[in-house]
Amino acid sequence: MSITVKLLQYTPEPEKVVSAAAKLCYSSSGVEDILDGLTEEKTEKFLAMLMDMGHESPIEHVSFTFGIEGVSRSLLAQITRHRIASYSVKSQRYVKEGQFEYIVPPEIESIPEAKELYIKAMNDDQKTYNELSGILFNKHYDRLIAEGKNEKDAKRTAEKQAIEDARFVLPNACETKMVVTMNARSLMNFFKHRCCMRAQWEIRELSSQMLMLVKEVAPTLFKYAGPGCVHGKCPEGSMSCGKAAEMKKLYK
């Protein structure tokens, strides 16, 4: 299963909006005429000035919303560490994993005996999840009927209560889907950390796809986006991957 990323929505004319915010900071313009005269050339000039000055607050005024699928619950734990963002994630509490999809790490995929063992573990997890769900469902259903619930309501409630506990046996490999919204400044930080070679392979692939999508709609704004080594010294210090030249070539 491969990662799928779609840019669902974004602030219209994002670079113009950021430039307008910068213009308000550095000129006598008022809100009535703040967008006047913002040609493509002047917009690029304002953005270049912001990047050179390190004045990043104006880029918070634009946001980007992504639809993401084909990623693991392991990745979910990493991406939600980027707290200035909004996340909506497929719920394992409300959605029964009748036959859960899962992510196979490339290193495991490349070794036949490792892949065989991995797939067996996934199948065992599915079997255990199904058995637990069934046992818990029967217990909750019988209790709810005894309490006077009608059959339809008892089934619906019993299933929810069953899967919210049965999900504890599901693996980090379990595939999930999400909608993620970040403002441009948060995205810059996200790309800096997650496009880095030291980031885990899955979130690095995701961040690279997201970066390509935003560059299509805001190329000047994200001109210098990417891992920290692309436009400066590697921030990882002694933990550097040693591939700064390769990364510069890739992202430039």
DSSP code per residue over 132-197: HHHHHHHHHHHHHHHTT--HHHHHHHHHHHHHHHHGGG--TTBEEEEEEEEEHHHHHHHHHHHSST
Query: What is the predicted pLDDT for the residue at 44?
Result: 82
More confident residue, 101 or 238: 101
Question: Is the predicted pLDDT of residue 137 greater than 70, yes or no?
Answer: yes
Share of the chain above pLDDT 90, in %: 64
What's the number of CA atoms in the CB half-sphere (13 Å) around residue 58?
24
Query: What is the predicted pLDDT for the residue at 55?
Result: 74
What's the predicted TM-score (pTM) here? 0.89
Catalytic residue among 93, 185, 194, 204: 194
- Is residue 143 annotated as a catalytic residue, yes or no? no
Question: Is the predicted pLDDT of residue 130 greater than 90, yes or no?
Answer: yes
For residue 108, give both structure tokens.
Answer: 């495991």
Question: Is the predicted pLDDT of residue 27 greater than 70, yes or no?
Answer: no
More confident residue, 13 or 39: 13
More confident residue, 55 or 217: 217
181 band by pLDDT with thresholds 50, 70 and 90: very high
Tell me the pLDDT tens digit for each residue of 29-73.
Answer: 666 667 777 778 888 887 887 777 777 888 899 999 999 999 999
Alpha-carbon separation of residue 103 from 70, 78, 112, 119, 195 (angstroms): 7, 15, 16, 10, 20
Question: What's the rounded Cα separation, in Å, for the pair 85 and 182?
Answer: 5
- Lookup result for tokens 């993620």: 180
Alpha-carbon separation of residue 229 from 89, 210, 237, 248 (angstroms): 32, 19, 11, 7
Average per-residue pLDDT for the chain: 90
User: What average pLDDT does this structure show over 17-28?
Assistant: 76
Contact 35, 16 (CB under 8 A): yes
Alpha-carbon separation of residue 115 from 103, 120, 217 (angstroms): 11, 9, 39
Query: What is the predicted pLDDT for the residue at 41?
Result: 80
User: What average pLDDT does this structure show over 20-29?
Assistant: 70
